[in-house]
Structure 1
């Protein structure tokens, strides 16, 4: 928004904001305040962000408090244009930290319940006091509800749930149903309490991530090691991570080697071996060795903080279904009030019906019409889904993205770093004049000390084969050709076939073998020993271990897969044939964008999966852009979604999560509207009354919330 660029922003943590109706009341009230430009509310995060051009934060806090909520924390002003970062995550506040019976809603529900039980006992003991006892019991619960209803009405929300509740309770007293009025108020408070408990549970799922980062870190300074607060670590600082400790910051290993459990951040169940130059995520667990680590990000920008911030922002972005339900509820609630009025008045006026009986039914219809369950049906499912995805390393930028991903019919993958590991690996060692063991040994001797990707691949292969590498001397690189040195008294050269042919004769049989390797998309280097072709080393950027399985999962789901790569056609075709994926090769970034557009014109819903850097045009053009791996700023900010761990199979997982979420939402809507329809009919025909009506609404709200929370479990849970 243009206005937001020049406005300050304040973020508030609000206790008791547990449903979409709460959010609507708060948003309407704050938006009407002078100086407020924009309001963004996250029910799942329990936060409200206010864009303004000069307003006191206490004024906003007081307005929110007047609606019956409590502001637990207000962050400092920050300017949207400065690109500053939010805190790693909201505090859960007293409501989130305290047991339910110590929260405002809990104490009010308990007090109302005790008063109702006392009224029942007193009424049995002294029947003459029964009406007044139940009236007092009702008022204990109703007065706070009515106060909130009046404030909400004056702040722009006249048809709030509290208003419907207050009208129904007062109406019930007027027609003499005082006992039922007190019971209805108590059940309403129980429903609110259960909403709060469920909302806290959903909130805790993502906020629990912040607890993964330890509070302290061991920093190296001036030759000493001391403990400091983890959030005080600066970029470039050197820290030590002992065996068994959690990593306190994102960083790069300077020295040491250890296995690291990355499951808390990426969902990867198998510990990963880390050594020098390896990247570490904050919140992961060091295994068996001491690591010295250079910090690469501040506390507010580490992997955990970015994940939490992304999910919080995503929860504020509404899906199309959620926006439709919001619009529908604006007309639904006033409509229900009109229907209730007609049920109460029309039969007595037009057909001579009993006034008390039909007013009673009208009040019951008013309670049935409370839109709590309907309004919470979609955001509850989306919030649970976003949180569940984040804990598995599946990050989505909002409900709209979550909803759209499930409609994908074509997935376009980059090759290098997406379908493949992005690092060449030795695939073949071929011995011509010498054994394969000698070829590897001599090649590794030439590449010792080099950090070139091809050299790294050869040295990794030698390490895997436990090859003893002889020392070399007089080593020198020949630009564009290869490398040479003296090893074991022999002159050794490793380089391209063309360069090797200048030093030694290449036979037809050797040429044929080289051609076969090239046709498989492999890069071939020839080893020359004393003017003879000793052997060949073939390398290729190999597919990720799960690439074939991941693509099969997509195919089984009816999704077409295509590789879009700038690599040469021969290499791309070889990888494509191995993985069973269609191939478009030798593409520039604009070519990838053009192909995405062509598929969209053919009626496909297109996902583009890439590294978030050189695929930016295609990621932006696709219906959904999915960035792969690493959790880098580019990966998280360029695309609509990100697969943090970089597993190809996780693309299928994120699509499955979307489909399960939409199924859950449809179930919730069916439950919410279905129960209302059933009780509307039974109320009009006289089978059910006031307290079953509010029980139906409370029950529906609890059912849809519990159903949504099922998404926090793994697939199939």
Structure 2
């Protein structure tokens, strides 16, 4: 069950006390709840008070000078766990502040001294969780690991390194191929220790991971050499060659090809792990014992070949993310006086002016202070059309300056740029297990030891009961050992998820984890906030109705009246007049009438622009126009009436405009099978009905307050719908949290959107939404295909063992071949357009 599902089944927001519900300060554009808090707006008094528990008190933090540390918490399986941990840590002496974020699995602690931080792992362990220090200064390093072909390899490597006295903490992630480790000894020693376990490690320098893994030439040479001896042994067996020489050739093949898995098996046993290397090595040794040298050599070679192909295929999926690291250049041209100096991006400070020439990539996020150009933002937002940039516009690291030189004031350090956050979020997303993956992993943990025990039973009991010879049943037991490897099954889900998340990231869509990828595939209703989501959120003139004057004169007077106002409606009128190239007149004695409009004097006569209430108070004859005014308002227009005290000169209707991509996007959603598209708006029913008819929305809720949007989402869920909510990630946070899936738009412009939602559309439009749903459903289909294929292969192999129809090398081929096919099937997600 996903996080969202747990929340919705256990929570009832109505039970929360009003004072305990999350609060949003929209004026400051600050959400005082994060994504974790949103997913907790729960249930029970504990969850209801999540705001006060998870909100960091920045004012307090600025006043104290304590020891701060960040940890990753393992073992939390619902939001209430985070609150339990917080309560316990707060009870400890010398703790100043603690914040546990369930969504990211991280805990931030501030203490008066460092000694209390050292006690935290033991305290957390008492609660049933484990702590892993992250972002520690000095000794924490990240390595890329080569040679892991399933998640059990990561566990084996972790267990091996944990036994080393110089290693304080270690975390190996199979999906990303990375190891984060805190150690006191040298990098070279750690690399040697990794090699002992049968893998290769390379240190990730600075902020950049190497996109190319260490060379595998030596492994390939061993594979070829092992195959050479196997081939010659087999050909020799067909001739008059001595059986002893043939067996020696087979033995050499086994030793050369089996050295690496045997070494890995040794360390796996030391670490109390039962991985595929252990099972395969046991099978090969057993084959040698009973004289099946050809079988043993074939098993070793097929196993090594399968691993080599698997690793090569998996690296392609990992590189789909690693390639993002190379989007931003490592150096920047920094302006110092009249000189340009080339500096590493790590040395560029906020406020520095950098110069980007035509055709170059922008190295850091910033604001254009000089020049104009078109910038290709596809690496960040997925938009195929370059975006025009001028003075005051924001640009992002990793995007490409198409033409025209730009001077950019740096606004973010290299580690805080949008592309850095994307990479961090994507890698973090890969570490989160989807419900299907968690189930498969549990199944494999049960399946492997059961089949291992069954293999031992098959070797011992049938011959004891005179059901056959020891040799026959020992051989069948070895086959069972090979079939006990659940490699294809275990790898069926994570590779598909990594491929899908990587594809999405390249196309401007951030999916925060496998659970959300799975949820997106099951969505059958999508609710949209109207303003700023379906519409531009920027009012524009929709109609100009001159009454007692010409259109040109009406717009000229209106521009004069509104030119000094900063109200969005006034700006819309002024911009429209500018587009029509209608000049303003000479006005004087400008005056703002609060809540009603403006007035000025033009050529000795007073003119007014404002709402209906203003002219009613001026006693201007307006009765004959009231029906027309109401009709325009019912169509969703805001009206600017222009006139004098004596007469109305005309009416200018201003309305929010539909986004160009909205209609196409909503039709695309219908095409991929989303049967209910809902609009949520605070506007009146007339406006809602008009927008619904223009966009293709088949249901709407109008005149909603923010809390009413939450009720609308719950109503849809009560009707049996799995609901996604699409908003801007700020004012819509409560509804985003309540929905089964929260989708934020315009993530490239707002850090809040990237933190709040489950899925983030980096571009400020909806064109990626149908693609996201399609990708999610394709991923679910492929995951199901992989799981069923893996299980069927296993059960067929098991069924063929007992009649004696399965050979040892066919068992290996079924295992490694199935794993390879599963990986290749998953990689199809990388190519989905």
**Residues of 2 paired with 1:648 and 1:486: CA distance?**
45
**Residues of 2 paired with 1:454 and 1:535: CA distance?**
16
- Which one of 670, 687, 690 corresponds to residue 805 of structure 2? 687
User: In the superposition, relative to structure 1, how do residues 272 and 483 fare at CA in structure 2: closer, same or farther (>3 Å)?
Assistant: farther
Deviation at 1:509, TM superposition (A): 4.9
Deviation at 1:172, TM superposition (A): 1.1
- Which one of 328, 344, 357 corresponds to residue 472 of structure 2? 357
**Residues of 1 paired with 2:819 and 2:589: CA distance?**
74
User: In the superposition, relative to structure 1, how do residues 475 and 710 fare at CA in structure 2: closer, same or farther (>3 Å)?
Assistant: farther
Q: Over residues 537-563 of structure 1, what are the superposed CA-to-partner deviations in whole Å (9 max), with x where a residue is unaligned?
A: 222222222223333444452442333
Q: Over residues 287-337 of structure 1, what are the superposed CA-to-partner deviations in whole Å (9 max), with x where a residue is unaligned?
A: 333333333222112221111111100000001110111111111112222
**Residues of 2 paired with 1:681 and 1:339: CA distance?**
14
Q: Is the 8 A contact 1:441 1:470 kept in 2?
A: yes
Q: Which moved more, 1:480-489 or 1:304-313?
A: 480-489
Partner of 2:788: 670
User: In the superposition, relative to structure 1, how do residues 694 and 12 fare at CA in structure 2: closer, same or farther (>3 Å)?
Assistant: same
Q: Aligned pair 1:148/2:269, yes or no? A: no
User: In the superposition, relative to structure 1, how do residues 41 and 635 fare at CA in structure 2: closer, same or farther (>3 Å)?
Assistant: farther
- Which one of 561, 572, 575 corresponds to residue 677 of structure 2? 561
Partner of 2:694: 578
Q: Is the 8 A contact 2:379 2:508 kept in 1?
A: no
User: In the superposition, relative to structure 1, how do residues 539 and 42 fare at CA in structure 2: closer, same or farther (>3 Å)?
Assistant: farther
> What TM-score does the superposition give when structure 1 sets the normalisation length?
0.88
Q: Which moved more, 1:280-289 or 1:484-493?
A: 484-493
Q: Aligned pair 1:207/2:327, yes or no? A: no
Q: Is the 8 A contact 2:620 2:644 kept in 1?
A: no
Write out aligned runs for 1:36-185 (5 A).
40-49=171-180, 64-73=194-203, 90-92=209-211, 94-95=213-214, 98=215, 101-102=216-217, 105-117=219-231, 119-120=233-234, 126-127=241-242, 128-157=244-273, 159-185=274-300
**Residues of 2 paired with 1:149 and 1:92: CA distance?**
28
Partner of 2:530: 415
The count of corresponding residues between Structure 1 and Structure 2 is 695
Q: Aligned pair 1:616/2:733, yes or no? A: yes
> What TM-score does the superposition give when structure 2 sets the normalisation length?
0.76
User: In the superposition, relative to structure 1, how do residues 420 and 139 fare at CA in structure 2: closer, same or farther (>3 Å)?
Assistant: same
Write out aligned runs for 1:349-498 (5 A).
349-444=464-559, 446-448=561-563, 452-462=567-577, 464-465=579-580, 467-470=581-584, 472=586, 474=588, 476-480=590-594, 481-484=596-599, 493-498=608-613
**Helix, strand or coil at the partner of 2:403:** coil
Deviation at 1:399, TM superposition (A): 0.9
Partner of 1:550: 665
User: In the superposition, relative to structure 1, how do residues 69 and 518 fare at CA in structure 2: closer, same or farther (>3 Å)?
Assistant: same
**Helix, strand or coil at the partner of 1:206:** helix
Deviation at 1:527, TM superposition (A): 3.1
Structure 2: unaligned runs, 5 residues or longer? 1-72, 74-84, 90-106, 109-116, 118-131, 135-139
Q: Over residues 152-197 of structure 1, what are the superposed CA-to-partner deviations in whole Å (9 max), with x where a residue is unaligned?
A: 111120x211111111111111121212211211111111111111
Q: Aligned pair 1:596/2:713, yes or no? A: yes
Q: Is the 8 A contact 1:446 1:472 kept in 2?
A: no
Q: Is the 8 A contact 2:367 2:408 kept in 1?
A: yes
Q: Aligned pair 1:319/2:434, yes or no? A: yes
Q: Which moved more, 1:313-322 or 1:57-66?
A: 57-66
Q: Over residues 422-444 of structure 1, what are the superposed CA-to-partner deviations in whole Å (9 max), with x where a residue is unaligned?
A: 21122222222333344445544
Q: Aligned pair 1:8/2:130, yes or no? A: no
**Residues of 2 paired with 1:26 and 1:479: CA distance?**
73
Write out aligned runs for 1:250-265 (5 A).
250-265=365-380
Partner of 2:18: none
Q: CA RMSD in A?
A: 3.2
Deviation at 1:704, TM superposition (A): 0.4
User: In the superposition, relative to structure 1, how do residues 568 and 190 fare at CA in structure 2: closer, same or farther (>3 Å)?
Assistant: same
Q: Which moved more, 1:670-679 or 1:636-645?
A: 670-679
Structure 1: unaligned runs, 5 residues or longer? 76-86
Partner of 1:19: 150
**Helix, strand or coil at the partner of 1:234:** coil
**Helix, strand or coil at the partner of 1:187:** helix
